[in-house]
Chain A
Amino acid sequence: MNTLVQSARPAVPSGRELARHPLFRAGAPLLVLLLADALLLPGFLHLEIKDGHLYGALVDIANRAAPLILAAIGMTLVVATRGVDISVGAVVALAGSVAAVLVGGDAEPHVALGTAFLAALAAALACGLWNGALVSGLGLQPIVATLILMVAGRGLAQLLTDGQIVTVYYAPYAWLGGGYLAGLPVALYLAGGVAVATGLLLRHTALGLFLRVVGINPVAARLAGVPAAALLVFAYAFSGLCAGLAGLVISSNVTSADANNAGLLLELDAILAVTLGGTALTGGNFSLAGSVLGALTIQALTYTIYALGVPPEVNLVVKAMVVFIVCIAQSPELRRMLGKGAQA
């Protein structure tokens, strides 16, 4: 079993098989985008060290993708169970608001930074547990269950911040989302660390197998003794925690908490990242590495659109068209049709 790909097929990266490898399909759009950028944008691939920090477009894309990568990792596990978590954006706003409100708007923090961050993560975890309890315990449809927090979470964040943008002036607050460690952005370490840790967790425990079994056939899973209810709660709690981390990164990056706009529609980008990564929304087999690549693809696309100077008013249309093309290109139905055409 490959570290990050939880697929029914064994990974066979040899020769022509490579083109059929799920990760290749997830990575290809990203590669195409980066190549196009390298051709169209002078100095795109240029990396330089300034003040001991690595700068360049590639680093910028990866750094800005960090919150989406985090959200997509959580979303992947939820989708594997046939579920979906549309409260991610609201949890991002809530986590940011909790941290910012606790640290406060003065030069000195009201609450120790670590405590504030832990409290924010605890709130995010509680959100995830709530979602999991609704889906697992009450058997609510995932989209309906998480819709509740999608609305209430942001409302709660607005209550905490009195509907105002809370600006944090305590300097260390900016470290997580804007600081550097050994030349690279801290957020990058966080996203990469969570990705690797999740991959290891899936590899060294039976979590990957159980999640897929529950996603593919919940009835058979129960009769085989798989603890389906506990797994569902875990998946949603994990997604909540990931969203909380993403919220901290976002809030820290702008040193403020905006309950109205932070993480807005992030859940949809996360679902898109998971889909681009080759995980079907019908549950079962999933690819964590694919989701990370999907998140990077979305961020690279955003970057490209801005860098090419596409007017802001057509920005979303261009983005939608690219996403459409990528999805079409990955459609197994289309491949079957093309295959038939080639044979005829």
Chain B
Amino acid sequence: MVDAANPAPLLELAGIHLQFPGVKALTDAGLRLYPGEVHTLMGQNGAGKSSLIKVLTGVYTPDAGRITLAGAPIRPRSARHAQELGISTVYQEVNLCPNLSVAENVCVGRYPRRFGMIDWAAMRRQAAALLERLQVRIDVTRPLGAYPLAMQQMVAIARSLGTSARVLVLDEPTSSLDEAEVQRLFEVLRRLRAEGMAILFVTHFLDQTFAISDRITVLRNGEREGEYLCTELSRVDLVNKMVGAQAETQAPAPTASHAGPEVLRAHGLTRRGVLAPTDLAARSGEVLGLCGLLGSGRTELARLLFGADRADAGSITVQGRERKFRSPRDAIAAGIAFCSEDRKHEGAILPLSVRENVVLALQVRAGLWRAIPLRKQRALAEEYVRQLGIKTASVETPIGTLSGGNQQKVLLARWLVTEPNALILDEPTRGIDIRAKQEIMDYVTALCRKGMAILFISSELPEVLRCSQRLLVMRDRRAGGEYLQGELDEQSVLHVIAEET
């Protein structure tokens, strides 16, 4: 796959291992970057893209592995050190100072001096020259904040060019840009590529990947799935490699649908810039799978259904009654439960005990004044610790000391004690070990048999396919297609995700 013309990569990461407490972030991951190419790093959420970038830019120190730049081994110690070595990074969130002028932002940290004082005229000339290289002509004396986000991104790129960068890393630079702005950015990237810059582009947008890349590296579960020439890979193949659908043969398909009456229905649910009008219906005794890539609107839809965000338009009907959710409280009162994908920040109350974490939502339903007696709290917590096989010293142990999988089970228990009619699970198996994953999946199936309506969101296609009776495929912030059990087929789902029919 290596170009004959370019036998030696400019930058190579090989055998990178990175471990956090309880989580393997990267396992033997790697990347090769050649001068004069745009190389896209793809992978699902949690596949290890950010971790790899952070190793490259010195934010994380890998446990093992080597990085070579132009044949010489390097060990970036910090983002600043990486920049001195010639590796510049532009982050998703523009980290510039909007109140300073464009020129000050472009030259920050290396202001030209004259007689010990800052030479403002020289700074303006330098900044203008750097921007000119990107074919950007703006007034460099105006504050950066006066320009739109896309222009600020250009300024960020200009700044990194100023440090005689040989490698330019763009970490999801397009996520907040509109179509025209993306095109403009791409023109700049092509220009830099022609100048021989090695560009690493991180994104999860398929269109953009195919529009700009020469080569693609796919990461999955912290490992390098493979490196491909953009021309040799179809969209379906790429999605396939990201979600890892072809591999794992799975346990028997779910039993026939026991679908009962409709519990939760959304009609034309919309939130500007987040979700286009979307319909959805979840029935009792049925698992409705929601799949799609990151940013496709899965989580956004779930948050609207739970009242965590406000919808701009559309209606939600719970058991035949139309409801308006102003906050999660309203949704909980209507019998809806939502397990967030961000366990640490949106779920677990880390310093509190397993017991308190379990009873929280039930206590909310009972109300402030009717405290659940301590004995009942203990009994409930102990019952679910047993049922879900939660490994904890006691129900009084702080949840923060439990492993990820056990924390997830405690949060599942938090909602199960409220006996919801509809349960929304957003990536309930992310970042937990295989065994806990299996146990949670089995339990979800059992709940569904008991008549609960379950909305199951997951990035892992095999997992969704295995336990859903119906599947809603999200793409581009709207529903891309609905499949019944039986019609479900990995390839067809992949085609819908990849927008190839």
Contact = CB atoms under 8 A, between A and B. Distances in A.
Q: Answer yes or no: do A and B interact.
A: yes
A285 interface: yes
Contacts of A285: 351
Contact of B364 (A1, A204, A205, A224): A224
B492 interface: no
Interface string B346-378: 111111110010011101111111111010000
Nearest to B372: A206
Contacts of B306: 223
Given A1-B374, A217-B345, A226 B364 contact: yes
Q: Which of B329, B338, B345, B371 has the most CB of A within 10 A?
A: B371
B308 interface: yes
B368 A205 contact: yes
Nearest to B363: A206
Contacts of B398: 8
A223 B349 CA distance: 11
A284 interface: yes
A173 interface: no
A115 B143 CA distance: 59
Contacts of A205: 368-371
B347 A206 contact: no
Contact of A226 (B340, B360, B374): B360
A212 B361 CA distance: 14
Contacts of B367: 206
B426 to A, nearest CB: 11
A222 B332 CA distance: 11
A226 B360 CA distance: 8
A293 B205 CA distance: 59
Nearest to B394: A10
A265 interface: no
Contacts of A284: 351
B404 to A, nearest CB: 16
A223 B308 contact: yes
Contacts of B346: 219-220, 223
A212 B350 CA distance: 11
B431 interface: no
B345 A220 contact: yes
Contacts of B347: 220, 223
A58 interface: no
Contact of A225 (B332, B353, B356, B369): B332
Interface residues of A, number: 26
A8 B360 contact: no
A213 B327 contact: no
Contacts of A217: 345, 348-350
Contacts of A203: 371
Given A8-B353, A223-B340, A223-B347, A206 B327 contact: no
A10 B329 CA distance: 29
Contacts of A212: 349, 352
A207 interface: yes
Nearest to A227: B329
Given A216-B351, A222-B327, A224-B328, A209 B345 contact: no
A203 B373 CA distance: 10
B349 A204 contact: no
A221 B361 CA distance: 9
Contacts, number: 83
A210 interface: yes
A227 B359 CA distance: 15
A223 B328 contact: yes
Q: How large is the interface on B (under 10, 10 to 19, 20 to 34, 35 or more residues)?
A: 35 or more
Nearest to B347: A220
Interface in B432-476: none
A8 B352 contact: yes
Contacts of B350: 216-217
A216 B332 CA distance: 21
Contacts of A213: 349, 352, 360
Nearest to A10: B396
Nearest to A207: B368
Contacts of A216: 349-352
Contacts of B409: none
A224 to B, nearest CB: 5
Interface string A163-177: 000000000000000
Given A216-B350, A217-B350, A219-B345, A224 B361 contact: yes
Given A10-B396, A227-B368, A220 B349 contact: yes
Interface in B234-254: none
B366 A206 contact: yes
Interface string A118-161: 00000000000000000000000000000000000000000000
Contact of A8 (B327, B351, B370, B414): B351
Nearest to B353: A8
B352 A206 contact: no
Q: Which of B327, B349, B350, B374 has the most CB of A within 10 A?
A: B349
A315 B331 CA distance: 58
A209 B363 contact: yes
A119 B348 CA distance: 43
Contacts of A10: 396
Interface string A279-292: 00000110000000
Contacts of A224: 328, 360-361, 364, 414
B351 to A, nearest CB: 5
Nearest to A208: B371
Contacts of B396: 9-10
Q: Which of A10, A217, A221 has the most CB of B within 10 A?
A: A217
Contacts of A210: 363, 368
Interface of B: 306, 308, 327-329, 331-333, 338, 340, 345-353, 356, 359-361, 363-372, 374, 396, 398, 414
21 contacts: A1-B374, A205-B368, A205-B369, A206-B372, A210-B368, A213-B352, A213-B360, A216-B349, A217-B345, A217-B350, A219-B345, A221-B349, A222-B327, A223-B338, A223-B340, A224-B361, A224-B364, A225-B327, A225-B328, A225-B329, A284-B351
Given A224-B328, A225-B327, 7 more contacts: A205-B370, A206-B370, A206-B372, A213-B352, A216-B349, A222-B328, A227-B368
Across chains A and B, which 9 residue pairs bring their CB atoms closest together, nearest first? Answer: A225-B364, A225-B332, A225-B329, A206-B363, A224-B360, A206-B371, A10-B396, A8-B351, A225-B328
